Amino acid sequence: MKKIGIENIWVDGEVIDIESLAHILETQQLISSSLKLPVGTAPTLFLFKYSSPRLNKRFHTKYRKASIMAIASWFSNFLFYGAIEDAKECFASVYQALEFKKVLKNNNIKLLEKL
């Protein structure tokens, strides 16, 4: 790849609904473990399928954003958090998920084997 000028490859899956998020996370595990490439996604993208934070605050809540980001962060090397309005909840959520992951690893807790 470097011979043709490609230095980095990042694999990004497009989330359109909750089911696609599940498929993307499974695919991320396969690509990451077999090809050793960084994998990630924009997990809150499907929220915009139904609404934007500017148009429908009832659906596009900080709780939905935070929970989706926490789930996606388990197997991703990078995440696109979406609209700048989403940054606060998304960063806090991913931080908590990563801290929880560290606790599991440091205490040899096998809650989620494929972390």
- What are the DSSP calls for the chain, one per residue? -GGGT-----EEEPP-SHHHHHHHHHHHHHHHHHH---EEE-GGGGHHHH--TTT-TTTS-HHHHHHHHHHHHTT-SEE---SGGGHHHHHHHHHHHHHHHHHHHHTT--SSTT-
Give yes or no for residue 50 having a pLDDT over 70. Answer: no
Task: Tell me the whole-structure pTM to 2 decimals.
Answer: 0.65
pLDDT tens digits for 3-45? 888 778 877 777 777 788 888 888 888 888 898 888 888 777 7
